[in-house]
Chains A and B, each alone.
Chain A
Amino acid sequence: MTPSFLLVLVPLLPLLAAIATVIGGRRLGARAHLPAVVGIAAAAVVALSLLVVTARSRGNAETPRPIDVVAPLWQWATVEDAYAPASDSHAAVPGTAVGEDAYSARPFSISIALRLDPLTATMLVIITSVGLLVAIYSIGYMHDDPGYPRFFALVAMFVFSMSMLVAASNFLLVYVFWEAVGACSYLLIGFWFQKPEAAKAAKKAFLVNRIGDFGLAVGVFLLWLTYGTLDFHDTFSPDGTILPGILGQTRLADVSGYVGGIVGTAICLLLLLAACGKSAQLPLHVWLPDAMEGPTPASALIHAATMVTAGVYLVARSAPLFMACPGALVTVSIIGTTTALVAALIGTVQNDLKRVLAYSTISQLGYMFACLGTGTLLGFTAAIFHLLTHAFFKALLFLGAGSVMHSMGGVIDMRRFGGLRKLMPITATTFLIGSLALAGIAPFAGFFSKDEILASLHSKGWPDVHHSAENEHHALIPDLPSTRSRSGAMHDVGYRGVSGDNDHSNSKKASALVGLDALNQPAVWKTLFWMALVTAGLTAFYTFRAVFMTFTGPLRIPDEAGDHAHESPSVMTTPLLILAIPATLIGFVLFTTEGLAHFLAATPSFTAPSIVETATASVFHWDLAIQGTLAAALGIVIAAVGHLGRRSDGPQLERWLGPIRPFLENRMFIDQLYAAVIVKPIEAVAFLAAIFDRSFIDRSVRFFAHLPLALGSVVRRLQSGVLQRYALAGVIGVLAIIVFLAWRL
């Protein structure tokens, strides 16, 4: 049982489960969940064992040694001599010269290869474990649904696609499964396709994701043009030379292995566009709130815990590329922080429980992007850390919301029910745990990850403070290949691309690029930090607003629930209880042992010299923790003032907002803006095109269709059915031929 074999098993088992469900789902009937649950459970066990294997192979060494196991399965396609860079490409794209041999003509080979490294192992565990709990939960939630087998087939298919996405060792393969998870998401959002809202939401999600996928496609093309390969890992050419992969050890070890400048920034921004689409960041966030039309377990799995984090994964995986482009990094942070703040603001006035959670998801994903953009090892690990904790507590919250919805007869409007804590104690308790984790209250999971995020932002905003703090702990990180001073490192990488350009037009663009790079100022970072801190407070507010409105105050039950309002069955509450454990403990455990940070540091992507040299000792920032907790506490207090107890049914708080309220309730009119700016013009063009199509193209086609008819109606008269006329025609023809030949002779 080699690691690579186990690695193949993780996606394979859900795939087999999906196929089995598709084939035998109808026959299994009410037991159609069995293949999916068993397959995902087995995959979860394998993923856990893989995590252990990876962690052991890291050993006890303090120095981050890259760990990766690549399992090449087969060659998908090979085109010989596809990559033949022009001779002056070195001048045009500086910093690409890893070795002259590497840039000779090479084949375009797409290898189906899976990789195992700490990042992949972590993601696999998240995907399969949350997937398993959601699948179990769905047994109760989805029972008696006519599409019961279809749901489980899709869930298993999604787990397969997502595992492949995080395990793929090739950008093209990543793209394939990027689309695959998008397809699964589309199918699950539109699961109840009879509902027009669901069908519309699915269409919207699909179309908005198209934009991001377009960015990924172009980004992949640019990557191929720039690096001549799409593999993450190093490969060997037939004559034994190493072809450095984009994230391979060879290129990572080379300080000038990554392209900066315009091309590098373009690649990074395109990848960021893809990530924005999938992870619902501004300005492509509009699909996620509508995606809540899907079944709640699917929302929990795909639109909260796993798929939407694919963007975070992609940026983290491409960290060395981003490190070469400081402008792109700042853009990541700015987008992330802005999204976090905007989504949190909108979330404060939503009355739909699932929408609150959806905006919360967008906001938390914005957090992750914010700290990814810091470009420090702390930032990257913090993002993955928050991804991990968020996956658990947000899945917990969603499943809790699903439980409420289940017992309320499908009603999810918080104004129509309240005081449910007596009615559904388990759901209330676990939901409260999840809310505490989300709000960032110690010692729940979210507190620690949010603290790290704030710390990473703070370290960029106030570099001097951290510089000194870091010096104290420098002894802990020996043998760093620190070749240049930290403060100048990133600018240096960025400017190499610019200085290599002698072309006039390029230098103009370069000046624009400097403008993007110029955002990399402590002042900007300070602003971002304060925005993040405000977001923390808002997060706590809307979370507890939801808790208070739903679970406190006098008991109110909507008519739809009837007499069936009750605590959910144990098959639904058990996953809630299980998820509550990591939501409570995982942050504390991983933070205090620093296990995750050290583990993730061994990911090849994070071992680039430019990242390693940003490593700092993890310290607990008391000041930041206090600030974060204060913000959260303030938010909770305001929520309590507005909604606790009897006031839970009154919109007193909203009244305070005054004119901002309709602005926020309408989601800042972003959907309307898109409708006016993008959809309406396209519709107008489509209308004109339709007129053109009907009046010109259709008519010309009909004309050509009528032409033979008209000709035929003339010639048809010859078909009189009188035999002798036919004979006469034949004789005339023969005579004509004879006359023609005689004339020729």
Chain B
Amino acid sequence: MTLFVHLFAGTGTFEFLSPGILLAVAVTCLAASLYLLLPKSGRHGKTSRRVGWLIGLITLGLFIATGQRLGNLGDEAVFLIVSLVAVVSAVATITCRSPVYAAIWFALCLAGVSGVLLVLGAQFLGVATIVVYAGAILVMFLFVLMLAQPSGLTTSDRITNEPMLSAVAGGVLLGLLSLSIGRLSAEEPLCCRPPSKAAALGAATVEKIPTESVDLLTSDQVARLGGELFGRHLVAVEAVGILLLVALIGAIAIVSNGLEGSQVETSSLHEGSRS
């Protein structure tokens, strides 16, 4: 831990706090807020949820305050807004009791994510995320919910497994990821170190990869992405196509086989359902 990354170095906002302590506080707050927000047994009313939201917002504020400046206020504002939308709606997705609401929050989260993608210069992906996820997959989820839970909220939606441990695990994970992200520096990009001779000899394909940066933000970006996709990655695209086909057939096969055995309902499985 001595090699603590200077995640928040240069921000100047919280000079008096060491980055490590700041990070620990942020992670603890996140875990606490998630714990408060997650539906669980016992007394847990609107008050605790509000406290949870408050702590969560403080955490986000910490992250924002300590984040890297992009140099341009407008850029920062845009990035901040879309990422806030994504993160807040993600929190809502996992804490919302009703699965339907969770799905709708997830749709909003997808919108935020697509915004982030756009900011990061992935125009096609931003659009594709909306189209594929929000337009197709999410609708499928809602259909399933409608089929399976027409009566709405069930008991199992009002309760969670091990909320405390889960929240702590998530917080620790986020802390670790933040640490390693903060360790990144322009001088020594982790993935662009020159490959050693032995590695180069071992993998001849390494040399083929163009090391020079291309400008991703040209106007024909989608065309070039398509060229990349159907050029270098043609085989992979074909493989993914086959995978989609197989998944389609597999889903149909499982449904049709499963329906025959659908009457196999053991009483033991129901024993906990009404508790």
Q: Is the CB of A739 within 8 A of B166?
A: no
Q: A residues 702-745 with Cβ under 8 Å of B?
A: 722, 724-725, 728, 731-732, 735, 738-739, 742-743, 745
Complex alpha-carbon distance, A735 and B175, angstroms: 11
- Whether A731 touches B3, Cβ cut-off 8 Å, given contacts A725-B161, A742-B179, is no
Q: Is the CB of B161 within 8 A of A739?
A: no
> Would you call B24 an interface residue if the criterion is a C-beta within 8 Å of the partner chain's C-beta atoms?
no
Could you say which residues of chain B place their CB within 8 Å of the CB of A724? 161-162
Q: Is the CB of B169 within 8 A of A735?
A: yes
Q: Is the CB of B176 within 8 A of A725?
A: no
Q: Indicate with 1 or 0, residue by residue over B91-115, a CB within 8 angstroms of chain A CB atoms.
A: 0000000000000000000000000
Complex alpha-carbon distance, A738 and B173, angstroms: 9
Q: Is the CB of B1 within 8 A of A742?
A: yes
User: Which partner residue on chain A sits nearest B180 by CB separation?
Assistant: A742
Q: Is the CB of B169 within 8 A of A725?
A: no
Complex alpha-carbon distance, A732 and B173, angstroms: 9
Query: In whole Å, how far is A728's beta carbon from the nearest beta carbon of chain B?
Result: 6
Query: In whole Å, how far is A744's beta carbon from the nearest beta carbon of chain B?
Result: 10
Interface size class of B (residues with CB under 8 A): 10 to 19
Query: In whole Å, how far is A717's beta carbon from the nearest beta carbon of chain B?
Result: 14
Complex alpha-carbon distance, A725 and B161, angstroms: 8
Could you say which residues of chain B place their CB within 8 Å of the CB of A742? 1, 176, 179
Q: B residues 134-180 with Cβ under 8 Å of A?
A: 161-162, 165-166, 169, 172-173, 176, 179
Q: B residues 163-209 with Cβ under 8 Å of A?
A: 165-166, 169, 172-173, 176, 179
The count of chain A contact residues (Cβ–Cβ below 8 Å) is 12
Q: Is the CB of A728 within 8 A of B169?
A: yes
Could you say which residues of chain B place their CB within 8 Å of the CB of A725? 161-162
Q: Is the CB of A728 within 8 A of B166?
A: yes
Secondary structure class of chain A's binding surface, majority of residues: helix
User: Which partner residue on chain A sits nearest B179 by CB separation?
Assistant: A742
Complex alpha-carbon distance, A725 and B172, angstroms: 17
User: Which partner residue on chain A sits nearest B170 by CB separation?
Assistant: A731
Complex alpha-carbon distance, A9 and B161, angstroms: 85
Q: Is the CB of A735 within 8 A of B179?
A: no
Q: Is the CB of A732 within 8 A of B169?
A: yes
Could you say which residues of chain B place their CB within 8 Å of the CB of A745? 3
Q: Is the CB of B166 within 8 A of A743?
A: no
User: Which partner residue on chain A sits nearest B3 by CB separation?
Assistant: A745
Complex alpha-carbon distance, A728 and B169, angstroms: 8
Query: In whole Å, how far is B66's beta carbon from the nearest beta carbon of chain A?
Result: 20
- Whether A739 touches B176, Cβ cut-off 8 Å, given contacts A724-B161, A724-B162, A728-B162, is yes
User: Which partner residue on chain A sits nearest B165 by CB separation?
Assistant: A728
Query: In whole Å, how far is A733's beta carbon from the nearest beta carbon of chain B?
Result: 10
Could you say which residues of chain B place their CB within 8 Å of the CB of A739? 172, 176
Complex alpha-carbon distance, A139 and B251, angstroms: 81
User: Which partner residue on chain B sits nearest A724 by CB separation?
Assistant: B161
Q: Indicate with 1 or 0, residue by residue over B203-232, a CB within 8 angstroms of chain A CB atoms.
A: 000000000000000000000000000000
Could you say which residues of chain B place their CB within 8 Å of the CB of A732? 165, 169
- Whether A735 touches B162, Cβ cut-off 8 Å, given contacts A742-B1, A743-B1, A745-B3, is no
Complex alpha-carbon distance, A728 and B160, angstroms: 13
Q: Is the CB of A722 within 8 A of B161?
A: yes
Q: Is the CB of B1 within 8 A of A735?
A: no
Query: In whole Å, how far is A723's beta carbon from the nearest beta carbon of chain B?
Result: 9
Could you say which residues of chain A place their CB within 8 Å of the CB of B166? 728
User: Which partner residue on chain A sits nearest B1 by CB separation?
Assistant: A743
Show 20 residue pairs from A and B whose CB-CB distance is below 8 angstroms, ordered by the A residue.
A722-B161, A724-B162, A728-B161, A728-B162, A728-B165, A728-B166, A728-B169, A731-B169, A731-B173, A732-B165, A735-B169, A735-B172, A735-B173, A735-B176, A738-B176, A739-B172, A742-B1, A742-B179, A743-B1, A745-B3
Closest 5 pairs between A and B when the two form their complex, measured CB to CB: A724-B161, A731-B169, A735-B172, A738-B176, A728-B162
Given A728-B165, A728-B169, A739-B176, 17 extra CB contacts under 8 A:
A722-B161, A724-B161, A724-B162, A725-B162, A728-B161, A728-B162, A728-B166, A731-B173, A732-B169, A735-B172, A735-B173, A735-B176, A738-B176, A739-B172, A742-B1, A742-B179, A745-B3
Residues of B within 8 A of A (CB): 1, 3, 161-162, 165-166, 169, 172-173, 176, 179
Residues of A within 8 A of B (CB): 722, 724-725, 728, 731-732, 735, 738-739, 742-743, 745
